[in-house]
Each structure stands twice: as C-alpha cells, then as structure tokens.
C-alpha cells in the first residue's frame, strides 16, 4: 500500500487524498505536522531532501514529492487524465499555473492568516502583494470559466483537483469569492464529481 | 511551423529554444519585450490570458503556455523524456521544484538586479529572502548531484533543461556558485550534450 506523508489541513496534501479517493487507490497516512517542525527532522529530510509535504512512498519503496507531480503519476491511464498529447500538456499548463501564480499567494495568505499564530503581524508587509496577485490568478481562472466547464480538455481532471484544493478555502486567506460566479459554479461541479471527498477526509 | 512567443534573455524562454534545437524541431520566434509591456497588450492577452512568455502557438493554431508544460509537450516520445511512469513523474517532480522553489528566487533576483533598471533599490527589502531561499534550492540540487549525474531517471532530460536555464545565469542575481562543485560539474555535462545551444541562440 502507498504511504502518504501528509498534513491534514494542507491543500497540497488534500489534492492527493481526493485523487486517491476518486481512483479507489488504497493508501495510509503518515501525519507530518510542519507547524511543529516535523518536515525538517533528519529522518524526514532523509526521506524527502526538499523538506516538504506531501510526499508519497509507493508500495515499491520509491519516493515522489511535489503534489502535482504525484497527481500526474496517480492519474496516468485513468479517467482523471485526458487522452492525447496536447490535452496532457493543457493539464500541466494549469498545474504549473497553480504552483507558480496561485498557490504562492492564495495558499500562503491562508497559511499565515489562518494556520500560523501571530502570522498577520509577522507578514503584515506581504499581505497586499499576496491579495493583489491572488486576485490576478482568480481573474485568470474566472475568464477561463466564462467559456469552459473545466480547466483542461473539456473534462474533469487533475488540473481541476490541483486548482480546487486552495481555491475552495481561499476565504481562509481573506479572499472574497462572491464576485467570481464562474469559479463558484465550477467549484459546485467539482464537488458533484463521483467519489468527491472533503478536505477533512481520511482513509 | 511552431511560433515561440519569447523574450531572448528570459531563462523560461531559453528552455524551449534549447529543447527545440536539440530535438531538431523547426520554429520561428515572435519577440515579446516584457520590459516594454508587450506581454500586457490586449493582443497578447487575447493570445495568452495569463500575460506571460513563453507561449507556443503550434502549427495547428493551438496555444500552450507555462514553460515546463510546453517542454513536456515537446519531449513526449523523444530522447529528452525517460520512459516509464515513475521516471516521467520524477521528471515532473524536478520541474515543479524548479518553478516553486528555484525560479521565484534565482530568476527573480536576476530579473531585478540585472535586467530591471533601478531594480536593486525598488526590491531592496526582498533581496535577503531571495538569496536565502535561492541558496536553499541550490543546496537541494547539490545534494542530489553528489550521487547522480542528472536530475531524473539517470539520464539527461527536460528536467535538466528546466533547471539549467536559470542556474547557469544565477551569477546575474549575485549567487556565488563556487562552493557547489556538483552543480558546476553537472552544468558542464549539460553543455556537452549533443546539439546544446547557448542562451543567445536563435533559429
């Protein structure tokens, strides 16, 4: 069975729980509390030198890190991955957008405002920049969703899972989604997919 | 023929020129000078709503953005992409590492210190953070290269191209690579690959 090194309230870790639930892939969870420094212990760094969760130890013993790379691994040859070279590249395009233009603002604002005690004071100088760039990313998503039901290849895929993970909790970083009707309708479509589980789900 | 929307001194754009040169894929360049706002014009935003280069317009008319997604598209079924599901995921793991943990510090420091006039003063408060996190990423690379010749699957691949693009010009962001013998030896191996071209190369 695969082992997921995971923090329950991390959106990057939730992506993998959601995908494995929908693909009926059995796995167990090894909890890593990054707030207690558990991703920086010598034991964890020997496992994942980049010192981050999630990481997935396959039943073969091999280790993978980076949430979206793991998503791609899990989804190959499943209904969560569109067929065809161009469609796979479109999936990756949105997953790189998520990690470069979305997560560093929307997830990071949530981390410091919601999860880290005293974070608002510590990061006061960064908040305006995170909100500005986070809203830019939400604007790119909204314009895409004006004419598309899903992000890539006209179907629900790991691109939607990657973007849903932190978008649906953007309010924790004090983003207001009420002016984004396309994003709200898309989030409902994602929640209505067979086998959908919420962020607090564990196997 | 493909059209690459590109800025010559952007490492993200160089990745694609290098890969297409090594794969003998014909393409033409449409220069976009982001310093002159050319990636934010209505015409360019109609093409790529995220307002960034590189973007690749395929000979079919379809458009792809995000440098590493385009790299993956170009490399599928070529010698630049290792075979096997786990190896592909390893390639992606390093490409997501590059976009999340490397480029935002090493490329961004270069942009503001080397390319943007007055950037040092404008971004004075950010420099220490960029250098600290950039050296962390270089440390992760160095530890990997102590026991590996390349980043993924034991062979030269698009993972190496993605990481080489901004590592080989890290000095422009005032990173000192002299204490990273593994990285220096790897850069020489990359430069010795058949068909290697330098950053100023154009088709």
What pLDDT score does B130 carry? 97
Q: Would you call A66 and B140 a contact, using CB atoms and an 8 Å cutoff? A: no
Residue A130 has pLDDT above 90, yes or no: yes
Under an 8 Å CB criterion, which residues of A touch B?
Answer: 49-50, 58, 62, 64-70, 72-73, 76, 85-86, 88-90, 92-93, 95-97, 99-101, 103-104, 125, 140, 143-144
Chain A residues near residue B95 by CB distance under 8 angstroms: 69, 96
pLDDT tens digits, A1-29? 999 999 999 999 999 999 999 999 999 99
In chain B, where does the domain assigned CATH 3.40.30.10 lie?
A: 2-75
What pLDDT score does A68 carry? 98
DSSP B121-182: HHTTTTHHHHHHHHHHHHHHHHHHHTT-SSSBTTB--HHHHHHHHHHTTGGGGT---TT-HH
Q: How far is CA B167 from CA B11, B81, B187, in A?
A: 9, 21, 8
pLDDT tens digits, A136-163? 999 999 999 999 999 999 999 999 999 9
Residue A114 has pLDDT above 90, yes or no: yes
Mean per-residue pLDDT, B39-43: 92
Q: Would you call A85 and B73 a contact, using CB atoms and an 8 Å cutoff? A: yes
In chain B, where does the domain assigned CATH 1.20.1050.10 lie?
A: 85-191
Residue A50 has pLDDT above 90, yes or no: no
CA atoms of A153 and A165, how far apart (whole Å): 19
| Residue B50's pLDDT band (cuts 50, 70, 90) | confident
How many residues make up chain A in this entry? 203
Domain A85-191 top-level CATH class: mainly alpha
What pLDDT score does B18 carry? 98
| Residue B179's pLDDT band (cuts 50, 70, 90) | very high
Residue A49 has pLDDT above 90, yes or no: no
Between B182 and A51, the higher pLDDT residue: B182
| Residue A55's pLDDT band (cuts 50, 70, 90) | very high
Residue A100 has pLDDT above 90, yes or no: yes
Mean per-residue pLDDT, B138-147: 97
What pLDDT score does B49 carry? 85
| Residue B27's pLDDT band (cuts 50, 70, 90) | very high
Q: Would you call A101 and B50 a contact, using CB atoms and an 8 Å cutoff? A: yes
Mean per-residue pLDDT, A18-45: 95
Q: Would you call B72 and A89 a contact, using CB atoms and an 8 Å cutoff? A: yes
How many residues make up chain B in this entry? 203
Exposed/middle/buried for residue A189 (C-beta within 10 Å: 0-12, 13-18, 19+): middle
Mean per-residue pLDDT, A90-94: 98
Q: How far is CA A48 from CA A39, A40, A62, A79, in A?
A: 9, 9, 11, 29
Asked if B176 and B142 touch (Cβ cutoff 8 Å), the reply is no
DSSP A59-105: TTS-EEESHHHHHHHHHTTSTTS-SSHHHHHHHHHHHHHIIIIIHHH
| Residue B101's pLDDT band (cuts 50, 70, 90) | very high
Using CB atoms, pick whichever of A86, A97, A103 lies closest to residue B50. A97
b/e per residue, B56-82, with b = 16+ CB within 10 A? bbbeeeebbbbbbbbbbbbbeeeebbb
Q: Which CATH architecture has domain B2-75?
A: 3-Layer(aba) Sandwich (3.40)
Residue entry with tokens 């039901």: A149
Q: What is the ipTM of this complex?
A: 0.97
| Residue A122's pLDDT band (cuts 50, 70, 90) | very high
């Amino acid at each position: 069975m695969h082992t997921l090194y995971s923090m329950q309230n991390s959106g990057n870790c939730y992506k993998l729980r959601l995908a494995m639930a929908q693909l009926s892939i059995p796995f167990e969870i090894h909890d890593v509390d990054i707030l207690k420094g558990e991703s920086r212990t010598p034991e964890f760094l020997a496992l994942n030198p980049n010192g981050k969760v999630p990481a997935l130890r396959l039943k073969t013993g091999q280790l993978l890190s980076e949430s979206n790379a793991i998503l791609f691994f899990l989804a190959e040859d499943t209904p969560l991955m569109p067929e065809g070279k161009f469609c796979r590249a479109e999936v990756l395009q949105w997953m790189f957008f998520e990690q470069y233009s979305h997560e560093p603002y929307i997830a990071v604002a949530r981390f410091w405002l919601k999860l880290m005690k005293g974070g608002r004071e510590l990061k006061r100088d960064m908040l305006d920049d995170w909100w500005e760039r986070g809203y830019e990313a939400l604007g790119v998503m909204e314009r895409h969703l004006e004419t598309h039901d899903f992000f890539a290849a006209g179907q629900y895929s790991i691109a939607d899972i990657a973007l849903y993970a932190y978008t649906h909790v953007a309010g924790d970083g004090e983003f207001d989604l009420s002016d984004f009707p396309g994003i709200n309708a898309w989030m409902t479509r994602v929640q209505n997919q067979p086998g959908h589980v919420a962020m607090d789900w564990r196997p």
